[in-house]
Structure 1
Amino acid sequence: MLFWKGVSTFLLALLVLMDLQLLAGRSHPHRRQTRGHHEGRVRQNITLAIILPQTNTEYPWAWPRIGPALERAVQTVNADPTLLPNHHLTYAFKNSEDKDGICSESIAPLMAVDLKLAFDPWAFIGPGCSYTSSPVGLFTTHWDVPMVTAGAPAVAFYGGVYPSITN
């Protein structure tokens, strides 16, 4: 039960961050847009970049644990036109594990750059480990993109060097 409470809090924080970006009028002319089937208005895609361990469930924030909740949240948001009017929520996932299944401080930042170049996401979810979150947090700060993580418990994340991180 505690796990699902944490996931729901995490998703609520993510929705608040996305709503703040929408209110600030953040839009990109190169984002793919589709026609809404109800109102005929242009629908804007919102992409979330997810960087988590893909298979190692020793991490509480691994994809097998978090993925189903994120998929359900995306489906719920897209099914209710009052949550993000004229927007379509989607995500792109990349693995932060090395060949041994451990969070990798060299792989995670490479995955962040790949996701940024390929999808220009509105927010990053993960990575969760302190060593992987540090370089990704510096990138997201530079890109002015929020990063939401359930991990990254190091004290350094609270000092203002990583203003894009919410954990």
Structure 2
Amino acid sequence: MDIRRILPVLMMQVLCVCAKQIKSITIGTILPEDNSRLFSINRVEPAMAIALEKVVGELGIITDRNITIHFADSKCNVADGINEAINFFVKKEVDVFFGPCCDYAAAPVGRQIHYWNIAMVTPGAMARDFAEKQHMFNLMTRVGPNMNSLINFVTTIFKTFHWNKVNLLYDPDGQSHIVNKYCHIAIDGLHYGLTLQQQHYFKFDNINMILQSFTENIGKETAGMYILVH
């Protein structure tokens, strides 16, 4: 995903909607400062500056609006994300939210904006629950990959090959450098998406227990078919 190409188009669409109503537009951007995160402030801020140049000004689509971008650190945390959103709202420093991206930070913000009537755009929020647009996340727009697409892909494969048994093997904290509990979010979506398949549950405390289960349970009962997320 080339954020430099996506942001100008995305910003143009969002700002054009806001520009119909107000002269000054403020974007509240809530992202982690931690540079190990894919969408950290230091990674996104230059791209947003480039996008703003392409959208606003003599050569842009919007020529008569003042655009301001504020940044705040979500820390990829459920409490910090909503706290920064509340700060923006109370100070009247936001017309549209960009982010949060991390699922646990995005969830409370995505729910609250319904009452503020403020839109939210995020390349994150990958969990299946965010697809609930009718009542809960009606003002959130996801522009990146998400688990709903993964669920559709996997269920299509299972239906095509008539697979009826599946074991979901994962580390709950796996790949947390991308998004907190990334593997848990992925498997949660698959678990609820695979409604026609038999699913079995095991808890492993170490790798030896996993290897032993491969021989005694998984290989025999599932004919060697399993999904490994790590």
2:70 alignment partner in structure 1 = 92
Query: What is the rounded CA distance, in whole Å, between the counterparts of 1:77 and 1:104 in structure 2?
Result: 31
Deviation at 1:49, TM superposition (A): 0.3
Return the alpha-carbon distance in structure 1 between the equivalents of residues 109 and 137 of structure 2.
10
1:69 to 47, 71, 77: 47
- Cα offset, 1:81, TM superposition: 5.8
Aligned equivalent of 1:136: 109
> Superposition RMSD on alpha carbons, in Å?
1.8
Contact conserved, 1:10 with 1:150, CA < 8 A, in 2? no
Q: Distance in 1 between matches of 2:11 and 2:140?
A: 11
Please give the TM-score of this superposition, normalised by the length of structure 1.
0.75
1:18 equivalent in alignment to 2:15: yes
Q: Contact (CA 8 Å) 2:28, 2:97: kept in 1 or not? A: yes
Secondary structure at the aligned position of 2:56 is classed as helix
Q: Which runs of 4+ in 1 moved over 6 A?
A: none
1:164 pairs with 2:139 = yes
Cα distance in 2 for residues equivalent to 1:85 and 1:70: 17
Residue of structure 2 in register with 1:37 after alignment:
none
Q: Cα distance 1:140–1:11, how it changes in 2: closer, same or farther (>3 A)? A: farther
- Structure 1: give runs of 5+ residues left out of the alignment: 28-43, 98-102
Distance 2:49 2:106 in 1: 22
For residues 46 and 92 of structure 1, what CA distance do their matches in structure 2 show?
11
Distance 1:135 1:94, change over 3 A: same
Q: CA deviation at 1:164?
A: 1.0
Q: Distance in 1 between matches of 2:124 and 2:53?
A: 24
Q: Which residue of 2 aligns with 1:35?
A: none
- In structure 2, distance between residues paired with 1:163 and 1:18: 19
**2: distance between equivalents of 1:14 and 1:162?**
20
SS at match of 1:106: helix
> Is the 8 Å Cα contact of residues 19 and 25 (structure 2) preserved in structure 1?
no
TM value normalised by structure 2:
0.56
Report the Cα distance in structure 1 between the residues aligned to 2:69 and 2:88, rounded to whole angstroms: 10
Larger Rg: 2
Distance in 2 of aligned mates of 1:146 and 1:21:
10
How far has the Cα of 1:59 moved from its partner?
Answer: 1.6
Shift of 1:13: 2.3
Shift of 1:7: 4.2
Identity of aligned residues (%): 23
Describe how 1:12-91 pairs up with structure 2 within 5 A: 12-23=9-20, 26-27=21-22, 44-54=23-33, 56-80=34-58, 82-91=60-69
